[in-house]
Structure 1
Amino acid sequence: MAVATSTTVDNQPARPVVRAPRRKRPSRFTPGLVGSYALVLVYAATLVLPLYWLFISAFKSQLDAVDAPFAPTFSSGFDNLTRVWDLLNLGDAMLNSLYITAASLAVTLVIAIPAAYALARSQGRIATVFERIYALGFLIPGFAALVPTLLLAIQLDLFHTREFMILYLPASAQPLAVILLTQFMRTVPQELEESATIDGAGRFRVLRSIYLPLTMPGIATISILNFISFWNDYLYTLVIVGANAKVRTVQVALPTLQGNQGITDYALVCAGTLISVLPVFVVYAVLNRRMESALVQGALKG
């Protein structure tokens, strides 16, 4: 401890001044913090490296894609993209996927939004029973309903048609869509609805003018999740729609790239995969802020 003497005033004895010891500043990089950053970097690498390999392999020759998988060489340029586009007729496949996905998403929202509004504003045992029935949909594995769904498509004379998928996909998405939107709509103050009702607004006007704008983050979240699920569906689309070049989707078309004698051109596969994931990135880029807003609201309310 440092001790210093002050100067005398009017011949009075000096009083010792005690100075407090300086505190050491805490180190910015503790072992725990360094370990946390290391884990984050490892996790980020596991996400980024596959995307990097997919991107650069789409512009390589087959030999370079196998011999130097991570080398940034673009030996084939855009040849793989044009070849796979013409070889698989990806234009029609992309349009089929877009038609099924967009129509299914529209049907999902048209059914889920009113259902969620009814559950959010209903009180009593009946509403609780219906909400639990929707929640039971999470317990049914997708592949368990494949055979009954196939038989239903045959009975309705919709086998090997895209229209049956537009009926099936929204049904499979209702549990998540209704439960999530119900929780968002329950956060809307009931006073807003009462004020609109006093002013003469009906149920549909209240839903359209109050609930839809305030729950747009939740609707965007549902849209992103369902778009990815519908676009990437393979099993049901392969069984129900089939591999006919006129009606098949892009996910069904890509596995047909396997060459003669089981030899697969991985550069072409990467090129086709890169084309197939572009719509997903575009939709996410458009709606990601709404989804982030929904996540932030959920964290604050939690």
Structure 2
Amino acid sequence: MTAISTRAATARTRRRRRGRVRRVTPGIIVSYVLAILYALALVLPLYWLLISAFKSRIETVSRPFTPTFSSGIGHFRDVWSLLDLGTALLNSLYITAVALALTLVIAVPAAYALARAGGRVATAVERLYALGFLIPGFAALVPTLLLAIKLDMFNTREFMILYLPGSAQPLAVILLTQFMRTVPPALEETAMMDGAGRLRILLRVYLPLIVPGIATVAILNFISYWNDYLYTLVIVGVDPGLRTVQVALPTLLGNQSITDYGLLCAGTVISVLPVFLVYAVLNRRMENALVQGAIKG
């Protein structure tokens, strides 16, 4: 009798669970609709960009969302030679890679010092870094230009390599500081008892544990550096031997009386490929960082 009652109770529980799973509320429907609309808002522009790179000038306007591939890879070949995109990509890669390395070299020790320092001085320094978020990027354009001229570094890529890490320090330092504060102090104390110095502790103890945070900072800054247009245009200029890919692409609008959107889309696809490759390599680390932050929060 007890076994029969148990089976009956189990059956009722399963029926309730099925009823809960099958129940569809208006809130769930609205959530799914909004999620689909948001996904379409992200995917459709990328889809249009990709298929337009293979279309003729007329087809990009007459049949914007129909894949035709009438021009083949001709647009990619033309835009590569017309804008000398090989040189532009190398310039962008040079500025971005060196500036990103310099950003991490400066931000990691600063974040370690803030994470393990205590007292009012450390708090004041951290708040000073946070003030960097209050300064709009365009507000510092004129002083930055005057500084480049004063240092005799106007129209040089090297000035951008020095400027970009300076502009990225507030975000990089504050993010890495929060990651380093999650490292147990006992690990540092154990390493110090074994005779390790501060630099060795930073390299051997902290860095392996904050790889997700470093990947997050690297992705965010890579995208920012690679896509920078205003400062690169003003400081580096439009010299074909120095300009970056983001400065080279808009010149297509001035070279032709009627814009060839297929040609422009082909150049844009080439310019965004490095960003997708970097994200594909580091996205797992960034996702781990977000999950860890959510669990610890």
State TM-score, norm by structure 2: 0.93
Give the C-alpha shift of residue 260 in structure 1. 5.6
Q: 1:182 aligns with which of 156, 165, 177?
A: 177
Q: Which residue is 2:73 aligned to? A: 78
Q: Does residue 130 of structure 2 align to residue 130 of structure 1? A: no
CA offsets, 1:183-223, max 9 Å, x none? Answer: 00000000000000000000001000010000000000000
Give the C-alpha shift of residue 33 in structure 1. 1.1
Q: Which residue is 1:4 aligned to? A: none
CA offsets, 1:152-188, max 9 Å, x none? Answer: 0000000000000000000000000000000000000
Letter in 1 for 2:114: L
Q: Which residue is 1:152 aligned to? A: 147
For 2:137 and 2:108, the matched residues in 1 are separated by: 23
Q: Which residue is 2:291 aligned to? A: 296
Q: 1:286 aligns with which of 262, 281, 286?
A: 281
For 2:79 and 2:62, the matched residues in 1 are separated by: 21
SS in 2 for 1:295: helix
Instruction: Report which of the two has the higher share of helix.
Output: 2
Q: Which residue is 1:90 aligned to? A: 85
Letter in 1 for 2:277: V
Give the C-alpha shift of residue 267 in structure 1. 0.5
For 1:264 and 1:107, the matched residues in 2 are separated by: 39
Give the C-alpha shift of residue 261 in structure 1. 6.3
For 1:76-225, what aligned pairs fall within 5 Å after superposition? Answer: 76-225=71-220
SS in 2 for 1:45: helix
For 1:20-35, what aligned pairs fall within 5 Å after superposition? Answer: 25-26=19-20, 27-35=22-30
Q: Which residue is 1:229 aligned to? A: 224
CA offsets, 1:130-164, max 9 Å, x none? Answer: 10110000000000000000000000000000000
Whichever of the two has the greater Rg, that structure is 1
For 1:259 and 1:168, the matched residues in 2 are separated by: 29
Q: Does residue 252 of structure 2 align to residue 257 of structure 1? A: yes
Go from structure 1 to structure 2 and tell me whether the alpha carbon gap of 1:123 and 1:162 turns closer, same or farther (over 3 Å shift).
same
Give the C-alpha shift of residue 30 in structure 1. 2.2
Letter in 2 for 1:48: V
- Asked if the contact 1:259–1:265 (Cα under 8 Å) also holds between the matched residues in 2, the reply is no
Letter in 1 for 2:164: L
For 1:102 and 1:38, the matched residues in 2 are separated by: 40
Aligned length: 285
For 1:237 and 1:35, the matched residues in 2 are separated by: 43
Letter in 2 for 1:216: V
Gaps of at least 5 residues in structure 1 are 1-18
For 1:261 and 1:101, the matched residues in 2 are separated by: 30
- Asked if the contact 1:217–1:291 (Cα under 8 Å) also holds between the matched residues in 2, the reply is yes
Letter in 2 for 1:94: L
Q: Which residue is 1:244 aligned to? A: 239
Moved over 6 A (4+): 19-24
Give the C-alpha shift of residue 29 in structure 1. 2.4
Q: Which residue is 1:273 aligned to? A: 268
Give the C-alpha shift of residue 259 in structure 1. 5.1
Letter in 2 for 1:279: P
For 1:184 and 1:193, the matched residues in 2 are separated by: 15
Give the C-alpha shift of residue 28 in structure 1. 3.6
For 2:220 and 2:250, the matched residues in 1 are separated by: 24
For 2:245 and 2:255, the matched residues in 1 are separated by: 21
Give the C-alpha shift of residue 263 in structure 1. 1.4
SS in 2 for 1:62: coil
Q: Does residue 46 of structure 2 align to residue 51 of structure 1? A: yes
